[in-house]
A and B are shown apart, each in its own frame.
Chain A
Amino acid sequence: MAGSTPASLTAERPAPAGIAAGVTPRKKARFSPGLEAWRRFRRHKLAMASSIILGLIVVAVLLGPLIWRVPINEIDFASKLDGPSWAHPLGTDDLGQDILARLLYGGRISLAVGFCAMLVAAVVGVMVGAIAGMSRGSIDAALMWLADLFLSLPQLPLLLLISYLFRDSLTKILGTQGGIFVMIVVVIGGLRWMQVARLVRAQILSIREKEFIEAARALGASSFRQVVRHILPNALGPVIVAGTIDVAAAIIAESTLSFLGLGFPPDIPTWGRVLFDAKDTIDIAPHWALFSGGAIFLAVLTINFIGDGLRDAFDPRRVL
């Protein structure tokens, strides 16, 4: 770029390199957007506490079944509906199965569904948003109309309808666990991409007009390269926040499906499914419902707080 004519007024200001050179001798050596976001995130106490709790939940769910080696389907009618004891820290259910083991195992699936559904929603949303944002005119209008349409779909009835219609054939193709897992992830993700798409489009519309994009365009970068290398990294903050909230929403959606008896079958004890099984005996065995519902609540609450902390961390307008 040597020898190019200064085209804008900003070029006449002292070169940014000079300011940077003036700063470097100071102690503050390391500085990056990521570190800055981390510094802001640490200020949000509830979000920090939530990260620790959620981390513990994830570790427990991943490693727990290796340490707590009680089988999830060991039926023992002698000790059915027992409250918490040393043999069964969270009690037993109506078949005498250990609730702790079931919750640890089911938590893997509940959390995996939430995370995978978020990934589906984020990928679809980023793609739709990027296409809409970069193509002006009719494609943009059509995609945004589609997003509005999906936003006005009744989510839960549709979720129930699809899982009702497609459950049998998918379990035939992919097996019980895999089929239902794929279906629930795709459907929940497929009904939640709109928010991300709108965010990405809005970000692209504003970033696209910035000077550094103009520079990239002048250097001959294709629209694909402009989006992937220059625009999306700058638009990532809100997408991460929306994605975090989506994990919580997907966990709730899966639990709701299972709670209504239309999600995972009884041999896959996701948290919602355990709660569904527990709801008929809440008068004699309240611990069963309390622990499974509490697990859902704790996971969702911590994820929501983390999302709030990330929102503060990524919002450059907030002074922290």
Chain B
Amino acid sequence: MSRQYIIRRLLVAIPSLLGISIILFCVLALAPGDPFSEIAANPAIPPEVAASLRAKFGLDDPVWLRYLHWLSAMAHGDWGFSFASRINVDTLILQRLPTTLIVIGAAQLLAIIVALPVGVLAGTRPYSVFDQIANTLAFIGFSLPTFFTGLLLIMLFSIKLDWLPMVYNAELSSTGWTWLWDQVKQSIMPVMVLGLFQGASLVRYVRSAVLDVVRLDYITTARSKGIGERRVITRHVVRTALIPVVTLVALQMPIVFSGAIVTEQIFRVPGIGSLLISAMLANDTPVIMAVTFVFACLVVFFNLIADVLYGWLDPRISYR
């Protein structure tokens, strides 16, 4: 893969990031309610002071100028100050981000581990009993909303069986191996909820990708050369079928983030998703804007990874 290709994809990512920032800023600018309305309504503050405050924060500037100011502030890492937590927004997000990324990463891993063998088996035996069962289960899996699965798991494993803790505890008191065990125990349910939801839709993608490849001539060639069925599947079918699946995994990231917000909220996982919800309930606008923007950046970043991986796996793409 050429370096040129990566640079080209990077250059394509910049306009979409700018576009997303414009959309976010428009939403904010169009929103009714002026951050300074309280100050203007307060009789203790003279109108001149209010006006100079407005001028200082550039509220009377034209929209495009305000957008540029906001953008340069975001680019400089000056993300504002959280009203609710009394610390800078960027430190707050940096504290929370690793938890979210670990949960999402583990969930995606679980989804791939489940979906890959099931999808390949279903795709190589289309319309068999196994395929039909897998297909029905996949449908049930992605029709079950994450918030309902979360509650169901809590009912089963925390209340009925009392195996797993109901909520995530960020400050575990235990140390050493017990700490690790507690950490695993409290992460199982959030990761399962997210991972099985993702896995269910992934199964169908893997299955159809495998179905597309199995019919191709080179598979017949491989079989006619006398290569065993297992080897044909693992070496010839799966390698090609995985190329579109890799892209899909990355393109599914926006959905994963949506799921992460819900799961973090149910299990009280201290990630940026639950930060977003608590900021909304506390009217903490700087945090809301920053978290939404971080989500957007992560999505663009994963799209970029998808493109680069696609170019690496399928060299025809990068030479086009």
Cα-based distance from A262 to B276 in the complex (angstroms): 12
User: Would you give the shortest CB distance from B154 to chain A, in whole angstroms?
Assistant: 6
A289 and B151 form a contact (CB under 8 A): yes
Is the C-beta of A270 less than 8 angstroms from some C-beta in chain B?
no
A279 and B27 form a contact (CB under 8 A): no
Contacts of B142 in A (CB 8 A): 304
The chain A residue sitting closest to B136, CB to CB, is A46
A260 and B262 form a contact (CB under 8 A): yes
The chain B residue sitting closest to A261, CB to CB, is B281
Is the C-beta of B211 less than 8 angstroms from some C-beta in chain A?
no
Cα-based distance from A283 to B143 in the complex (angstroms): 24
Is the C-beta of A164 less than 8 angstroms from some C-beta in chain B?
yes
Contacts of A161 in B (CB 8 A): 24, 27, 288-289, 292
The chain A residue sitting closest to B31, CB to CB, is A165
User: Would you give the shortest CB distance from B226 to chain A, in whole angstroms?
Assistant: 32
Among A149, A160, A293, A305, which residue has its beta carbon within 8 angstroms of that of B16? Answer: A149
B254 and A260 form a contact (CB under 8 A): no
B151 and A262 form a contact (CB under 8 A): no
Is the C-beta of B233 less than 8 angstroms from some C-beta in chain A?
no
B246-259 vs A, Cβ < 8 Å mask (1 yes, 0 no)? 00000100110110
Is the C-beta of B65 less than 8 angstroms from some C-beta in chain A?
no
Contacts of A275 in B (CB 8 A): 147-148, 151
Contacts of B20 in A (CB 8 A): 149, 152-153
Cα-based distance from A286 to B153 in the complex (angstroms): 12
B139 and A308 form a contact (CB under 8 A): yes
Is the C-beta of B98 less than 8 angstroms from some C-beta in chain A?
no
A279 and B151 form a contact (CB under 8 A): yes
A300 and B145 form a contact (CB under 8 A): yes
Is the C-beta of A158 less than 8 angstroms from some C-beta in chain B?
yes
Is the C-beta of B300 less than 8 angstroms from some C-beta in chain A?
yes
At the interface with chain B, which of A90-98, A204-212, A213-221, A248-256?
A: A248-256
| A279 and B266 in contact, given A155-B254, A256-B258 (Cβ under 8 angstroms) | yes
B12-30 vs A, Cβ < 8 Å mask (1 yes, 0 no)? 0001100110011001100
The chain B residue sitting closest to A276, CB to CB, is B147
| A260 and B277 in contact, given A153-B23, A248-B143, A255-B145 (Cβ under 8 angstroms) | yes
A276-320 vs B, Cβ < 8 Å mask (1 yes, 0 no)? 000100110010010001001100110011001000000000000
B280 and A164 form a contact (CB under 8 A): yes
B280 and A154 form a contact (CB under 8 A): no
Is the C-beta of A166 less than 8 angstroms from some C-beta in chain B?
yes
**Is the interface on chain B under 10, 10 to 19, 20 to 34, or 35 or more residues?**
35 or more
Contacts of B33 in A (CB 8 A): 165, 168-169
A153-180 vs B, Cβ < 8 Å mask (1 yes, 0 no)? 1111110111011101100000000000
Among A153, A252, A261, A305, which residue has its beta carbon within 8 angstroms of that of B139? Answer: A305
A304 and B27 form a contact (CB under 8 A): no
The chain A residue sitting closest to B295, CB to CB, is A154
A256 and B147 form a contact (CB under 8 A): yes
Contacts of A308 in B (CB 8 A): 139
| A297 and B143 in contact, given A154-B258, A260-B265, A279-B266 (Cβ under 8 angstroms) | yes
**Interface of chain A: mostly helix, strand, loop or mixed:** helix
Is the C-beta of A41 less than 8 angstroms from some C-beta in chain B?
no
Contacts of B289 in A (CB 8 A): 161
Contacts of B299 in A (CB 8 A): 152-154
B293-312 vs A, Cβ < 8 Å mask (1 yes, 0 no)? 00110111001000000000
B159 and A282 form a contact (CB under 8 A): yes
User: Would you give the shortest CB distance from B217 to chain A, in whole angstroms?
Assistant: 19
Among A153, A160, A286, A297, which residue has its beta carbon within 8 angstroms of that of B145? Answer: A297
Is the C-beta of A193 less than 8 angstroms from some C-beta in chain B?
no
Is the C-beta of A259 less than 8 angstroms from some C-beta in chain B?
yes
The chain B residue sitting closest to A164, CB to CB, is B280
A152 and B266 form a contact (CB under 8 A): no
Contacts of A293 in B (CB 8 A): 145, 147-148, 151-152
Is the C-beta of B155 less than 8 angstroms from some C-beta in chain A?
yes
B281 and A296 form a contact (CB under 8 A): no
The chain B residue sitting closest to A297, CB to CB, is B144
B125-151 vs A, Cβ < 8 Å mask (1 yes, 0 no)? 000000000001001101111011001
Binding site for A on B (CB under 8 A): 15-16, 19-20, 23-24, 27-28, 31-33, 136, 139-140, 142-145, 147-148, 151-152, 154-155, 159, 251, 254-255, 257-258, 261-262, 265-266, 276-277, 280-281, 288-289, 291-292, 295-296, 298-300, 303
A-B contact pairs, 21 of them (CB 8 A): A149-B19, A149-B23, A152-B254, A153-B299, A154-B258, A157-B276, A158-B23, A161-B288, A164-B280, A165-B32, A168-B32, A168-B33, A252-B145, A256-B262, A259-B147, A286-B159, A293-B152, A297-B145, A297-B148, A300-B145, A304-B142
Binding site for B on A (CB under 8 A): 46, 145-146, 148-149, 151-158, 160-162, 164-166, 168-169, 248, 252, 255-256, 259-262, 272, 275, 279, 282-283, 286, 289, 293, 296-297, 300-301, 304-305, 308
